[in-house]
Amino acid sequence: QKEVEQNSGPLSVPEGAIASLNCTYSDRGSQSFFWYRQYSGKSPELIMSIYSNGDKEDGRFTAQLNKASQYVSLLIRDSQPSDSATYLCASEGGFTDSWGKLQFGAGTQVVVTP
Amino acid sequence: DARVTQTPRHKVTEMGQEVTMRCQPILGHNTVFWYRQTMMQGLELLAYFRNRAPLDDSGMPKDRFSAEMPDATLATLKIQPSEPRDSAVYFCASGAQGVDTGELFFGEGSRLTVL
Protein backbone atom coordinates (compact mmCIF):
# COMPACT_ATOMS: atom_id res chain seq x y z
CA GLN A 1 0.00 0.00 0.00
CA LYS A 2 1.36 3.38 -1.00
CA GLU A 3 1.70 6.00 1.70
CA VAL A 4 -0.22 8.50 -0.41
CA GLU A 5 -3.39 7.34 -2.14
CA GLN A 6 -5.31 9.03 -4.93
CA ASN A 7 -8.05 7.99 -7.31
CA SER A 8 -6.41 7.51 -10.68
CA GLY A 9 -9.37 8.85 -12.65
CA PRO A 10 -9.82 10.00 -15.26
CA LEU A 11 -11.92 12.73 -13.74
CA SER A 12 -13.98 14.31 -16.49
CA VAL A 13 -15.02 17.90 -15.79
CA PRO A 14 -17.00 20.26 -18.01
CA GLU A 15 -15.31 23.52 -18.82
CA GLY A 16 -16.19 26.13 -16.21
CA ALA A 17 -17.07 23.58 -13.54
CA ILE A 18 -15.24 22.73 -10.33
CA ALA A 19 -12.82 19.81 -10.30
CA SER A 20 -12.44 18.12 -6.91
CA LEU A 21 -9.43 15.92 -6.26
CA ASN A 22 -8.86 13.89 -3.13
CA CYS A 23 -5.82 12.38 -1.47
CA THR A 24 -5.26 10.40 1.73
CA TYR A 25 -1.99 9.66 3.47
CA SER A 26 -0.97 7.05 5.99
CA ASP A 27 1.94 8.64 7.86
CA ARG A 28 0.49 10.67 10.73
CA GLY A 29 3.86 12.33 11.14
CA SER A 30 3.65 14.02 7.75
CA GLN A 31 3.75 17.77 8.13
CA SER A 32 3.66 19.30 4.68
CA PHE A 33 1.57 18.55 1.62
CA PHE A 34 1.83 19.52 -2.00
CA TRP A 35 -0.04 19.33 -5.25
CA TYR A 36 2.00 19.01 -8.42
CA ARG A 37 0.60 19.18 -11.92
CA GLN A 38 2.07 17.05 -14.69
CA TYR A 39 1.15 17.47 -18.31
CA SER A 40 1.53 14.41 -20.52
CA GLY A 41 5.17 13.87 -21.39
CA LYS A 42 6.31 16.72 -19.15
CA SER A 43 7.79 17.03 -15.68
CA PRO A 44 5.82 17.75 -12.50
CA GLU A 45 5.45 21.37 -11.42
CA LEU A 46 4.30 22.65 -8.04
CA ILE A 47 0.93 24.38 -7.97
CA MET A 48 -0.01 24.38 -4.26
CA SER A 49 1.51 23.71 -0.88
CA ILE A 50 -0.33 23.47 2.44
CA TYR A 51 0.99 22.95 5.96
CA SER A 52 -1.87 23.77 8.34
CA ASN A 53 -5.38 22.44 8.73
CA GLY A 54 -7.95 24.36 6.75
CA ASP A 55 -8.12 25.93 3.33
CA LYS A 56 -5.52 27.73 1.27
CA GLU A 57 -6.51 29.58 -1.88
CA ASP A 58 -4.35 30.64 -4.79
CA GLY A 59 -6.20 31.96 -7.81
CA ARG A 60 -8.51 29.26 -9.10
CA PHE A 61 -6.94 26.62 -6.85
CA THR A 62 -7.91 25.80 -3.27
CA ALA A 63 -6.11 23.20 -1.20
CA GLN A 64 -7.71 21.74 1.90
CA LEU A 65 -5.99 19.83 4.68
CA ASN A 66 -7.45 17.80 7.51
CA LYS A 67 -4.68 16.17 9.51
CA ALA A 68 -7.06 14.39 11.86
CA SER A 69 -8.61 12.58 8.91
CA GLN A 70 -5.29 12.40 7.05
CA TYR A 71 -6.94 13.94 4.05
CA VAL A 72 -5.86 16.50 1.49
CA SER A 73 -7.92 17.85 -1.37
CA LEU A 74 -7.56 20.22 -4.28
CA LEU A 75 -10.37 22.20 -5.87
CA ILE A 76 -9.98 23.76 -9.29
CA ARG A 77 -12.62 26.39 -9.95
CA ASP A 78 -13.71 27.52 -13.40
CA SER A 79 -11.88 24.57 -14.97
CA GLN A 80 -10.22 25.26 -18.30
CA PRO A 81 -9.04 22.85 -21.01
CA SER A 82 -5.50 23.87 -20.06
CA ASP A 83 -6.12 22.27 -16.64
CA SER A 84 -6.23 18.85 -18.30
CA ALA A 85 -3.29 17.06 -16.71
CA THR A 86 -2.38 14.57 -14.01
CA TYR A 87 -2.38 16.00 -10.50
CA LEU A 88 0.03 14.46 -8.04
CA CYS A 89 -0.47 14.70 -4.30
CA ALA A 90 2.68 14.54 -2.19
CA SER A 91 3.49 14.48 1.51
CA GLU A 92 6.68 15.36 3.35
CA GLY A 93 7.92 15.03 6.86
CA GLY A 94 7.50 12.86 9.86
CA PHE A 95 11.14 12.12 10.40
CA THR A 96 14.50 13.77 10.80
CA ASP A 97 15.91 15.65 7.85
CA SER A 98 12.86 15.02 5.71
CA TRP A 99 12.95 18.35 3.91
CA GLY A 100 12.09 17.84 0.28
CA LYS A 101 11.81 14.08 0.58
CA LEU A 102 8.38 13.68 -0.93
CA GLN A 103 6.10 10.67 -1.10
CA PHE A 104 3.96 10.97 -4.20
CA GLY A 105 0.58 9.48 -4.92
CA ALA A 106 -0.07 7.82 -8.26
CA GLY A 107 -1.86 10.89 -9.54
CA THR A 108 -5.37 11.74 -10.70
CA GLN A 109 -5.88 12.42 -14.38
CA VAL A 110 -8.19 15.35 -15.03
CA VAL A 111 -9.83 15.90 -18.39
CA VAL A 112 -11.65 19.18 -18.93
CA THR A 113 -14.13 18.95 -21.76
CA PRO A 114 -15.17 22.08 -23.72
CA ASP B 1 15.62 31.30 -16.64
CA ALA B 2 16.90 28.87 -14.00
CA ARG B 3 16.08 25.26 -14.63
CA VAL B 4 17.28 21.75 -13.95
CA THR B 5 19.02 20.28 -16.96
CA GLN B 6 19.10 16.56 -17.65
CA THR B 7 20.91 14.54 -20.27
CA PRO B 8 20.24 12.48 -22.25
CA ARG B 9 16.56 13.19 -22.89
CA HIS B 10 16.08 9.82 -24.51
CA LYS B 11 18.16 6.67 -24.35
CA VAL B 12 17.56 3.30 -25.95
CA THR B 13 19.97 0.59 -24.98
CA GLU B 14 20.27 -3.15 -24.82
CA MET B 15 20.08 -5.22 -21.71
CA GLY B 16 23.40 -5.47 -19.96
CA GLN B 17 24.73 -2.13 -21.13
CA GLU B 18 25.81 0.65 -18.81
CA VAL B 19 23.65 3.77 -18.69
CA THR B 20 24.68 7.09 -17.19
CA MET B 21 22.26 9.95 -16.69
CA ARG B 22 23.40 13.43 -15.76
CA CYS B 23 21.76 16.32 -14.03
CA GLN B 24 22.73 19.94 -13.54
CA PRO B 25 20.70 21.37 -10.63
CA ILE B 26 19.65 24.98 -10.38
CA LEU B 27 22.54 27.12 -9.22
CA GLY B 28 22.31 27.66 -5.47
CA HIS B 29 20.07 24.69 -4.77
CA ASN B 30 21.63 22.49 -2.10
CA THR B 31 19.40 19.42 -2.39
CA VAL B 32 19.22 17.12 -5.41
CA PHE B 33 16.85 14.20 -5.92
CA TRP B 34 16.63 11.33 -8.37
CA TYR B 35 13.11 10.04 -9.03
CA ARG B 36 11.92 7.29 -11.33
CA GLN B 37 8.46 7.32 -12.88
CA THR B 38 6.64 4.33 -14.36
CA MET B 39 2.99 3.73 -15.11
CA MET B 40 2.82 0.96 -12.53
CA GLN B 41 4.71 2.54 -9.63
CA GLY B 42 4.34 6.25 -10.26
CA LEU B 43 7.06 8.56 -8.96
CA GLU B 44 9.54 6.79 -6.71
CA LEU B 45 12.44 8.39 -4.90
CA LEU B 46 15.70 6.65 -5.70
CA ALA B 47 18.29 8.80 -3.94
CA TYR B 48 19.00 12.29 -2.77
CA PHE B 49 21.88 14.52 -1.79
CA ARG B 50 22.19 17.56 0.40
CA ASN B 51 25.23 19.77 0.03
CA ARG B 52 26.59 16.99 -2.19
CA ALA B 53 26.43 14.42 0.60
CA PRO B 54 24.27 11.36 -0.03
CA LEU B 55 21.43 11.26 2.50
CA ASP B 56 19.30 8.37 1.38
CA ASP B 57 19.60 5.88 -1.43
CA SER B 58 17.31 3.24 0.00
CA GLY B 59 15.06 3.45 -3.05
CA MET B 60 17.77 2.22 -5.38
CA PRO B 61 18.59 -1.37 -6.26
CA LYS B 62 22.07 -1.33 -4.78
CA ASP B 63 23.56 -4.04 -6.91
CA ARG B 64 23.09 -2.16 -10.18
CA PHE B 65 22.36 1.49 -9.45
CA SER B 66 24.72 4.13 -8.17
CA ALA B 67 24.30 7.85 -7.64
CA GLU B 68 27.01 10.40 -7.14
CA MET B 69 27.44 14.12 -6.96
CA PRO B 70 31.04 14.89 -7.90
CA ASP B 71 30.50 18.64 -7.63
CA ALA B 72 27.72 21.12 -6.93
CA THR B 73 26.82 21.43 -10.62
CA LEU B 74 26.60 17.75 -11.50
CA ALA B 75 24.70 14.74 -10.24
CA THR B 76 24.90 11.36 -11.94
CA LEU B 77 22.82 8.21 -11.87
CA LYS B 78 24.41 5.09 -13.27
CA ILE B 79 22.86 1.71 -14.05
CA GLN B 80 25.18 -1.20 -14.66
CA PRO B 81 24.10 -3.61 -15.99
CA SER B 82 20.76 -2.32 -17.24
CA GLU B 83 17.69 -4.54 -17.41
CA PRO B 84 14.35 -4.17 -19.25
CA ARG B 85 12.59 -3.47 -15.95
CA ASP B 86 14.69 -0.32 -15.62
CA SER B 87 12.76 1.22 -18.51
CA ALA B 88 11.21 4.39 -17.09
CA VAL B 89 11.49 8.14 -17.04
CA TYR B 90 14.17 9.29 -14.63
CA PHE B 91 13.71 12.74 -13.18
CA CYS B 92 16.24 14.85 -11.40
CA ALA B 93 14.88 17.56 -9.11
CA SER B 94 16.54 20.22 -7.03
CA GLY B 95 15.50 22.48 -4.22
CA ALA B 96 16.87 24.99 -1.74
CA GLN B 97 16.28 23.98 1.86
CA GLY B 98 15.21 26.93 3.95
CA VAL B 99 14.02 28.96 0.99
CA ASP B 100 11.15 27.14 -0.67
CA THR B 101 9.75 24.51 1.64
CA GLY B 102 9.02 21.39 -0.33
CA GLU B 103 9.17 23.04 -3.73
CA LEU B 104 11.18 20.83 -5.97
CA PHE B 105 12.09 21.91 -9.46
CA PHE B 106 12.10 19.00 -11.85
CA GLY B 107 14.17 18.53 -14.94
CA GLU B 108 12.54 17.38 -18.15
CA GLY B 109 13.51 13.79 -17.47
CA SER B 110 15.54 11.10 -19.17
CA ARG B 111 13.38 8.50 -20.87
CA LEU B 112 15.19 5.17 -20.75
CA THR B 113 14.23 2.14 -22.80
CA VAL B 114 16.13 -1.08 -22.18
CA LEU B 115 15.55 -3.73 -24.83
Kindly report, residue by residue over A69-78, the tens digit of the pLDDT: 999 999 999 9
Query: Picking from A67-71, A107-111, B42-46, B98-102, which range would have the lowest pLDDT averaged per residue?
Result: B98-102
Q: Do B48 and A104 touch (CB under 8 A)?
A: no
Asked if the Cβ–Cβ distance from B106 to A2 is below 8 Å, we say no
Mean pLDDT of chain A: 92
Residue with the bigger pLDDT between A58 and B97: it is A58
pLDDT(A100) > 90: no
* Range B61-70 contact pairs with CB under 8 angstroms and sequence separation of 24 or more: B67/B34, B69/B32
Average pLDDT value for residue range A46-64 = 95
pLDDT one-digit tens code per residue, A89-99 = 999 866 666 77
**Strand, helix or coil at A46?**
strand
Enumerate the residues of chain A whose CB falls inside 8 A of the CB of residue B99.
none
Residue B101, pLDDT > 80, answer no
User: Which residues on chain A are in Cβ contact (under 8 Å) with B56?
Assistant: 101
**Average pLDDT in chain B:** 93
Q: What are A's interface residues with B at a Cβ cutoff of 8 A?
A: 2, 32, 34, 42-46, 49, 51, 88, 90, 92, 97, 99-107
Task: Say if residue A10 is preceded by a cis peptide, omega within 30 of 0.
Answer: yes
B109 vs A43, A46, A101: nearest CB: A43
Q: Does B101 touch chain A (CB under 8 A)?
A: yes
Chain B hits for A34, CB-CB cut-off 8 Å, are 102-103
